[in-house]
Amino acid sequence: MLDLPWQDYTIDSYDLKKAKKVLDNDHYGMDKIKERILEYLAVLKLKGDMKSPILCFVGPPGIGKTSWAVPSPMPSAASTRA
């Protein structure tokens, strides 16, 4: 826990078209989840700041919940991180 980079920050990007492209490239199917993430980003873009922003994905084992939480090594996902 102490080894986590607590002081490191990234610049948030609210480019919804770019986010949709990355989600479509990195995650096949799962349209409802991708739509929910884009809705969340759109609200965050309009509102500016949301306290404790957390998305919780629930479902049976093996449907890809972890793949949403773990950054993809693909360049398309890395390009969204600033």
Per DSSP, the residues of 23-73 read HHHHS-S-HHHHHHHHHHHHHHHHH---SS--------TTSSHHHHHSPP-
The reported pTM is: 0.65
Confidence of residue 69 (pLDDT cuts 50, 70, 90): low
The predicted pLDDT at position 21 comes to 92
Q: What is the pLDDT of residues 3-56, one digit of tens each?
A: 878 888 878 788 999 999 988 888 888 888 889 889 988 988 888 777 767 778
